[in-house]
Structure 1
């Protein structure tokens, strides 16, 4: 099955429209980028950043001196990501299918995906997590950043209504079943979970036990 057939769900036009304005709403999650990058301790780490979009998480990794590969399915998003690369960064962006990564097993010391799983069918998300497991070294870090449902019902309702202004139809499913279901399906066990922005966002850190 080719990329276009596999990713019929992918709204190319939506990402093309969002690419020029995406960074204007980045302020909502910019505080999380550095927190995620700081979780990688070994300065010599090679990191895979999937669904990298306009590259903000990849850039946060690169600023700390890591060698980074960012992969995304939107050429328009990547066009903006590439504009941010500095000569001092060990960073490259690749247009590619995150469900079938063109890297060998155990290539990376750590991998991440930020605000991607909620934006796709569950079966595609599971395929991506499996590729993260395959391409990340044993005992390496796998970090997932995404939406989270706060315990406070009022805050949860407000967060949900705001997100619905721009999120896809897959957002509802992700919020209903929770990230925990995805992780359990691929045998990833969280080592650490943090919630941020009044509980509306989460950073989940897993150890790749293979």
Structure 2
């Protein structure tokens, strides 16, 4: 499905989000705070739009995605950026060594993983002690009134717009379903904490349509983990 939508993916996202995707990407980049000399994993990177923003800092950025179509499109678009590489990867079984990255980030991809808790644990594994996690994901507006308007947009308006601008409108039916079924901000924060991350916090973007989650890997990765 993601292979099929790759060529028009970024344009469609901008239209469907009414331009908010650029604001969300900028907020994520600020939260990551990339610096020259760092090694950053951008998981579920798609065509690399977020990865390019991170690479502009001079950090070495690995853009990883499960979809070979997305990876191919990203390589085609950003071939000349030396400190940006693209890797096909399964979020639940990452092809990287332990403690390999200073920061790991994932935007709008965690809800597409069959075992999201396992992916959060894998992100912990590949992050160095003291390193950071930044996850930007769709969430649920806390205002009942605004949430009702948001659901109306997703149920009634989004399918019509997606049919007009996307190369695969059915994929955006899945988008609506995945957002509706995804847990709220507090639940995702609990999942992150359960996998061993500390200093877990989140803030809402666009009145809670999206939540930006942040956490730190403890210097002893056994700290905070539930169970043996």
1:31 matched to 2:23? The reply is yes
Q: Quickly say closer, same or farther: Cα 1:158–1:189, change in 2 above 3 A.
A: farther
Structure 1 CA distance, aligned partners of 2:124 and 2:99? 8
Q: Where does structure 1 lack aligned partners over 5 or more consecutive residues?
A: 1-13
Match of 2:179 in 1: 171
Structure 2 CA distance, aligned partners of 1:203 and 1:138? 21
Report runs of 4+ in structure 1 exceeding 6 Å deviation.
none
- RMSD over aligned Cα atoms: 2.1
Q: Which moved more, 1:160-169 or 1:109-118?
A: 160-169
1:117 matched to 2:104? The reply is no
Structure 1 CA distance, aligned partners of 2:152 and 2:199? 28
Contact 1:37 1:64 (8 Å CA) reproduced: no
Match of 2:131 in 1: 140
1:208 matched to 2:208? The reply is no
Q: Where does structure 2 lack aligned partners over 5 or more consecutive residues?
A: 160-171, 222-228
Aligned residues: 195
Q: Quickly say closer, same or farther: Cα 1:59–1:29, change in 2 above 3 A.
A: same
Q: Quickly say closer, same or farther: Cα 1:188–1:173, change in 2 above 3 A.
A: farther
Match of 1:197 in 2: 206
* Length-normalised TM-score, structure 1: 0.83
Aligned residue for 2:207, secondary structure, equals coil
Match of 2:169 in 1: none
Q: Which moved more, 1:74-83 or 1:38-47?
A: 38-47
Indicate the structure with greater helix content: 2
Match of 1:17 in 2: 4
Structure 2 CA distance, aligned partners of 1:195 and 1:141? 19
Structure 2 CA distance, aligned partners of 1:79 and 1:161? 35
Q: Look at both structures and tell me which one has the larger radius of gyration over its CA atoms.
A: 2
Structure 2 CA distance, aligned partners of 1:160 and 1:185? 30
Aligned residue for 1:146, secondary structure, equals strand
Task: Give the C-alpha shift of residue 28 in structure 1.
Answer: 3.0
Q: Which moved more, 1:80-89 or 1:19-28?
A: 80-89
- Aligned pairs for 1:1-210 (under 5 A) are 14-24=1-11, 25-26=13-14, 27-39=19-31, 40-85=33-78, 87-121=80-114, 124-163=115-154, 165=159, 166=172, 167=175, 169-175=177-183, 178-209=187-218, 210=221
Cα-to-partner distance string for 1:131-187 (whole Å, 9 max, x where unaligned): 110000001011110012112112212323444542164433323683124213313
Contact 1:71 1:96 (8 Å CA) reproduced: yes
Contact 2:54 2:61 (8 Å CA) reproduced: yes
Structure 2 CA distance, aligned partners of 1:184 and 1:144? 13
Q: Which moved more, 1:185-194 or 1:104-113?
A: 185-194
- Larger RCO: Structure 1 or Structure 2 (Cα < 8 Å, ≥ 6 residues apart)? 2
